[in-house]
Amino acid sequence: MKNITLEKGNHIANIRFNRPDVLNALSLDMAIELRDLMVNLEDDSSVRCIIMGGEGRAFMAGGDLGYFYKNIENIEETLDQVIGTYHQIIISITNMRKPVINMVHGAIAGGGIGLALSGDYVVAAENSVFNMAYTAIGTSPDGGSTYLLPRLVGRRVAMEMALLNREINAAEALRLGLVNVVVKEEDCVATANKVAEKLVLGPPHAIGEAKSLINQSLESDSLDSHLNLEKKKFIGCAGMADFREGLEAFLEKRKPNFTGSEKK
């Protein structure tokens, strides 16, 4: 891959956006690489958790505006390809059963916000700055940011961020619930790895179901229907080998060894 690096080990996939000269701005080639990679990692049974971050001074400063300008004469077709691919990435991250940890620092702007918020756990460096920035270049948001932001920070703050491009620093992002933890930039990798190492020791199927339930709760018609879904998934997990292992480990007062095996 030209625009992204990947390292795998100990059931963890480490992804880094590798266009530091443009603050990891998203081009069509980069979007295609990331989309295809996420599909492959979802199917990779050796991977239980994914960490994403950016090389250089930023996580991601949105779309590649220079690339867009070079294609200004056919910008509608260009954006249809870029945004369409980018949205496939957001859907893949949200729907995949593996937890995704986003490790952000520096600029998280434009499309970088949607990508950051789509993760299941966000580690932020103290120098992180969130800025929607869309209206500053004469366009409206994408990447699911107008879907996710109101659910995380409420309509008022979401409006302020989208209409006025209000910058949100790391401390405020933590207070608003945009991120899980704020650390020094040099501690981001160790912090993300520590969370990932804990996740990969858990039961893969149950973790996937828990992620799915929380995401589906945003669209549930009622508490009653969601309770029925919880019951169905709980019983499904109980049919897996990891449920028996969890019970036996608890009763035997030892740490469980979850394998993800479907055999009971």
- The domain that holds 219 is classified in CATH as 1.10.12
Q: What are phi and psi of 34, to 5 degrees?
A: -70, -40
Spans of the chain below 70 pLDDT: 263-264
Domain residues for the domain of 214 are 204-251
Quickly tell me which residue has 């600029």 as its tokens.
Answer: 107
Do 214 and 190 fall within a single domain? no
* pLDDT at residue 264 in the model: 62
Q: Where are the beta strands (DSSP E) in 38-160?
A: 49-54, 100-104, 107-109, 121-125, 129-131
What pTM value is reported for the model? Answer: 0.95
Across the chain, mean pLDDT equals 96
Do 58 and 81 fall within a single domain? yes
Number of separate domains in the chain: 2
The rounded distance, in Å, linking the Cα atoms of 205 and 262 is 9
* pLDDT at residue 1 in the model: 87
The rounded distance, in Å, linking the Cα atoms of 39 and 59 is 21
* pLDDT at residue 262 in the model: 72
* pLDDT at residue 238 in the model: 95
Residue 185 within a domain: yes
